[in-house]
A and B are shown apart, each in its own frame.
Chain A
Amino acid sequence: MNQRIGNMLLAFCLGIMLCCGTFRSLSDDLDRVSPGQLAGNLTSTGSDSLNSLMQAWSLHFMQQHPGLNVQIQASGSATAAVALTESTANLGPMSRPMTQTERQHFERVHGYPPLEIPVALESLAVYVHHSNPLLSIELAELESLFSAEPQCQPGRSIRRWSELGIASPLGPRSISLFGRNSASGTYGFLKQQLLCHGDFKPEVHELPGAAAVIQAVALAENGIGIAGTRHQSAAVKTVPLMQDQQPIALQRTLYIYLNAHPVLGPGPAELAFMQLVLSETGQQLAVRHGFEAMPLDTRADLWQRLTEALHVD
């Protein structure tokens, strides 16, 4: 009996070691830090949603490479495409994929497409004032709230809380809608996924940051807003989003875009930064900041693609 258990343990250990063996080369490659002679400046321009995470990554990165200085500007995803195209930034964090037009602009200037690297996942949540009795909201209702004319599903526009089944005193009041400004990835993502390319109502308040959305909802009893899940606060509460009585998540991928020559690959500093971002340490930082980590095999694939670009010459 004892021997059998011992054998099983041995087999288990062997199995784990085997698994580790196959992954070791990949994760080792990602986690191996070369405190090289990198020096200079890295400039990042883009998403506001990714700002806190970029700060964390760059702090960590600057500890690894004391010679390097990372500057971060966060004023909306659309700025990343412009800055990369105009070569005023090395890294372009974006909370939505680049559009065809932006890619074309980039290609017209540089002659090759930008390099797209998914770096983390983020869920969006619906926030209401903490005193709001709303328990859950249907996706179709959310569309009817924010859309000028619902496109995904037929329905009429919702203007008052009573239409969502809320009793007095809140019921008769109109709903104040809070969202992000049109430069943000959240805006574009919602426009595509929630509104099916329809138009937002003109009444939707466009605020310049996710924190501003939370703050505005916290101060407005009749408010409802959409922002990333990581912005929790006591003055607001999140409302579960449902579709046909099943909870669903509005999840989006966050990217960093690079200006990488197809033959020469990205510069050494950019490459080192992406190594940190895709490594276990970088992804743990992402989780700590309220994002979700990318799956390991995706990251390994990405890293391989990044380094392959280097070895082509």
Chain B
Amino acid sequence: MWTRQSRDCFSRWLVTLVGYSVLLAFAIIFVFLVWQVWPLFQPASISAQSAAESSMPYSYQVEAQRRQSGSSGLLWLDNGLDERVQLHADGRFRWYQRLDGDWQLSLQGQLALSSWQAAVLLPGSRTLLVADQEALVHSWFRLHQQLIDRPGIPLHQSEVLALIPLSADTFFSLHPEVLHWHHATTGKRLTELRLSDQPLQQLQLSADRQRMRLDWGAGQSKDYQLHWQHPAVAGGQLWSKVHYEGRREAAYVWQTAAAADDSSPRLSLVPLTSGTLKAAAYAMLFATPLAILAAVFTAFYLPERWRHRARATMEMLESMPTVILGFIAAFLLAPWLEQQLMLFFVLLVLVPAVLLVCSGLWFHWRQRQQKQAEQPGAVLVLSLVAGILTAFMLAPVLEHAWFDGSLLLWLAGQGIDYQQRNALIIGMAMGLAVIPSIFSLTEEVVFQVPASLTQGVLALGASRWQTLSSMVLPVAAPGILAAILLGLGRALGETMILIMATGNTPLLGFDPFEGMRTLTASLALEMPEAAVGSSHFKVLLLAALLLLVLTFLINTLVSLLRLRIRQRYQQL
């Protein structure tokens, strides 16, 4: 009954099933992320709806608005909270602010235009929008006793019947025969609605601004549904500079405000992406030379017994939890480096220099004695110790001589801010986490270069170094590249070290003395706070998708390179 054949068949099916289900799970994760993120890129839309009975609380008389804003003098604008503006037909204005229950004049003057068609103060904000005669909506906001100019919002039609506020950062512009929907902060047009050529009498909005009713008079009206979950993101906030209210200039800002309702979240992925790349770059800068040199040495120079020990140690290092590295980096390494910055730089320069000089002298001396130059193990260790000791002695002297006793103060004098948690710390801590993965693959690839080749080259009289540099390394190059990419993938996806040691400051640029905030750290820190389904939540999922795609591409490349090197070894 339970024959060998049926057992084989059953287990084969089981293995296939499990394999496919793992693949399927990955596909499902990918599809889920895409499906969640997709609505971010759908601009707002207006769809017709069957008329609901309920009346709507916000009603705008188009004719009345027109008359008001015409030549007849002045217009009162209100943000529904604590700001009021009195605007004259010639562009003079008086800006009032409510302080402790009283309306106080905070600002008056003349706008930079002589006539205008329509104006509005956005609800709950300090932004004044004024449509001029040339199809442009000017945008100003009050900052203390100053009016800050923001980029204008171009309209598609010069005749404006009314500007109708919808939220703190979106508004309608009503033209004859068409209604446009704009995002005030980014200036993008979200969508449009074609209207009949009959003059519109009234526009009504529901309290939650999800429904709209257009009234042409004589009992002719139509209801619409407004869809706008993510207007800010649709307006292009993610990858471009935005001039937010309250700031003096446009900037890439990542600042999510779960607690403060009134300010819209600032969701620019630019600082986070730059932070991820910065962290990975510094880690690779630290890890790549060390890991590759160590791997080549282990594979090519070390005797078999020692090679195994080195590999085992590296594998143990690889399994070290990164949270420990993060902890050490944040609470031991970072304060130490701040105290001993000079020593760090002196070590960085002096130790390799002393090593090189000592081994050079050693060989020179051996050659003069006409003896064969052996592996100078003891010399290396001795010169390493000598280098470190010299650095310790030299650092205070140099710091005193060159930098008036304190490198930190000298840097501050040069306008360079040294932050305790910075890219150097991350480079070292994350570099340590990345070294094992680069090391293992490089070591494997170099070791697997066919012995027949190396033996042959050595037999032809080449030295070990010549063999290595002119034969082994070129043959193994694709494998080493794969190892570097593997390390890069690891560095891009690393989270814990970054959360603990970077300070999570969303800064732009590659300054080595400043921290960064990465995509992964933001995901881990902010996912629990984000309201499910909000723009913030979806942008975080977008960040996850970006990371997934990036690491997927890198890992695919690694696999392809490994395949290639395997084929190359088989051919040789």
Chain B nearest CB: distance from A80 CB in Å?
10
Among A2-10, A21-29, A118-126, A205-213, the stretch that binds chain B is A205-213
Chain A CB within 10 A, most for which of B246, B499, B514: B246
Given known pairs A174-B418, A220-B420, the reply for A82 and B531 (CB within 8 Å) is: yes
Tell me if A169 and B406 are in contact (CB < 8 A): yes
Which residues of A from 77 to 117 have beta carbons under 8 Å from B?
77-79, 81-82, 85-86, 96, 99-102, 105
State which of B145, B335, B529, B531 has its C-beta within 8 Å of the C-beta of A220: B335
Chain A residues with CB under 8 Å of B248's CB are 149
Which residues of B from 233 to 283 have beta carbons under 8 Å from A?
244, 246-248, 253-263, 266, 271
CA distance A101 to B263 in the complex (A): 12
Chain A nearest CB: distance from B464 CB in Å?
47
CA distance A192 to B261 in the complex (A): 10
Chain A CB within 10 A, most for which of B254, B263, B526, B531: B531
Q: Mark A209-225, 1 if CB is under 8 A from B, else 0.
A: 00000011001110100
Interface size on B, residues (CB 8 A): 51
State which of B145, B259, B421 has its C-beta within 8 Å of the C-beta of A77: B259
Which residues of A from 151 to 185 have beta carbons under 8 Å from B?
151, 153-154, 159-160, 168-169, 172-174, 176, 178, 181-183, 185
State which of B418, B503, B531 has its C-beta within 8 Å of the C-beta of A102: B531
- Flag whether A199 is at the interface (Cβ < 8 A): yes
Among B31-39, B487-495, B504-512, the stretch that binds chain A is B504-512
Chain A nearest CB: distance from B81 CB in Å?
12
A-B contact count (CB 8 A): 141
Chain B residues with CB under 8 Å of A146's CB are none
Tell me if B525 and A197 are in contact (CB < 8 A): no
State which of B145, B412, B504, B507 has its C-beta within 8 Å of the C-beta of A154: B145
Closest to B253 in A: A199
Tell me if B531 and A219 are in contact (CB < 8 A): no
Given known pairs A182-B256, A219-B331, the reply for A174 and B338 (CB within 8 Å) is: no
State which of A160, A168, A182 has its C-beta within 8 Å of the C-beta of B258: A182
Tell me if B253 and A99 are in contact (CB < 8 A): no
CA distance A212 to B396 in the complex (A): 32
- Flag whether A40 is at the interface (Cβ < 8 A): no
Chain A residues with CB under 8 Å of B271's CB are 202
State which of B258, B334, B409, B419 has its C-beta within 8 Å of the C-beta of A183: B258
Chain A residues with CB under 8 Å of B261's CB are 99-101
- Flag whether A240 is at the interface (Cβ < 8 A): no
Given known pairs A99-B261, A191-B260, the reply for A76 and B531 (CB within 8 Å) is: no
Chain B residues with CB under 8 Å of A82's CB are 528-532
- Flag whether A228 is at the interface (Cβ < 8 A): no
State which of B260, B417, B420 has its C-beta within 8 Å of the C-beta of A219: B420
Closest to A147 in B: B246
CA distance A77 to B417 in the complex (A): 33
State which of A149, A151, A172, A202 has its C-beta within 8 Å of the C-beta of B505: A202
State which of A75, A78, A81, A207 has its C-beta within 8 Å of the C-beta of B503: A207
Closest to B506 in A: A202
Which residues of A from 26 to 79 have beta carbons under 8 Å from B?
75-79
Chain A residues with CB under 8 Å of B254's CB are 202
Chain B residues with CB under 8 Å of A174's CB are 412, 417-419
Tell me if B418 and A205 are in contact (CB < 8 A): no
CA distance A221 to B341 in the complex (A): 14
CA distance A172 to B253 in the complex (A): 28
CA distance A285 to B256 in the complex (A): 34
Which residues of B from 208 to 226 have beta carbons under 8 Å from A?
none
- Flag whether B397 is at the interface (Cβ < 8 A): no
Which residues of B from 527 to 567 have beta carbons under 8 Å from A?
528-532, 534
Q: Mark B406-444, 1 if CB is under 8 A from A, else 0.
A: 101100110001111100000000000000000000000
Q: Which residues does B use to contact A, with CB under 8 Å?
A: 143-145, 244, 246-248, 253-263, 266, 271, 331, 334-335, 338, 406, 408-409, 412-413, 417-421, 499, 503-507, 514-515, 517, 525-526, 528-532, 534
3 closest Cβ pairs, A-B complex: A188-B259, A78-B529, A205-B503
15 extra interface residue pairs, beta carbon distance < 8 Å, beyond A181-B504, A203-B507: A75-B528, A82-B531, A86-B532, A101-B534, A159-B417, A172-B409, A181-B526, A182-B258, A182-B526, A183-B258, A188-B257, A191-B260, A199-B253, A202-B506, A220-B420
What are 23 A-B contacts with C-beta separation under 8 Å? A101-B261, A101-B534, A154-B144, A176-B420, A182-B255, A182-B256, A182-B525, A183-B258, A183-B525, A187-B259, A188-B258, A188-B259, A191-B260, A192-B260, A197-B246, A197-B260, A203-B505, A206-B525, A208-B499, A208-B525, A219-B420, A220-B335, A223-B420
Q: Which residues does A use to contact B, with CB under 8 Å?
A: 75-79, 81-82, 85-86, 96, 99-102, 105, 148-149, 151, 153-154, 159-160, 168-169, 172-174, 176, 178, 181-183, 185, 187-189, 191-192, 197-200, 202-208, 215-216, 219-221, 223
